[in-house]
Structure 1
């Protein structure tokens, strides 16, 4: 790799605002706000709107759409097209 062209890859805490989950990982993202982590060190914190702790797919609250009902309603409204 070429020297001095890549961004710094440092530890960062990502915090989910909706679910309350926070996890420490490495990233090139930076932030002016910091947080004292469980290990006693201070890390920059990046607030995210949604993560696996609050996303409906991962929490099991995702709704399934009734696609068969939509097709039937469309055919009733506009008629079935013969091929």
Structure 2
């Protein structure tokens, strides 16, 4: 393995799936300004995810549509002019 190519600033972060409120602790270097209080009473940085293994159809075996803030409607409105 090459030396000095991996980041040094790993820290414990909470990843939160916004489609079903599932959260888990993991080490990461991703930057975030938000924090959340975890089950152990400590405060950790939080990174919000659109989808995780608890909501992805491959892992759950079922398809669930998650329309966060009308994404489908925004897409249809934005590209409706190209349909003509």
Deviations 1:8-41 (A, max 9, x none): 1000000001121100110111210000001111
Deviations 1:60-79 (A, max 9, x none): 115xxxxxxxxxxxxxxxxx
- Return the TM-score normalized by structure 1: 0.65
1:1-83 aligned within 5 A: 1-2=3-4, 6-62=7-63
Stretches of structure 1 that go unaligned for 5 or more consecutive residues are 63-83
RMSD of Structure 2 on Structure 1 (CA): 1.6
User: Rg: which structure is higher?
Assistant: 1
- Return the TM-score normalized by structure 2: 0.64
Stretches of structure 2 that go unaligned for 5 or more consecutive residues are 64-84
- Number of matched residues? 60
Q: How far, CA to CA, are the matches of 2:33 and 2:8 in structure 1?
A: 16
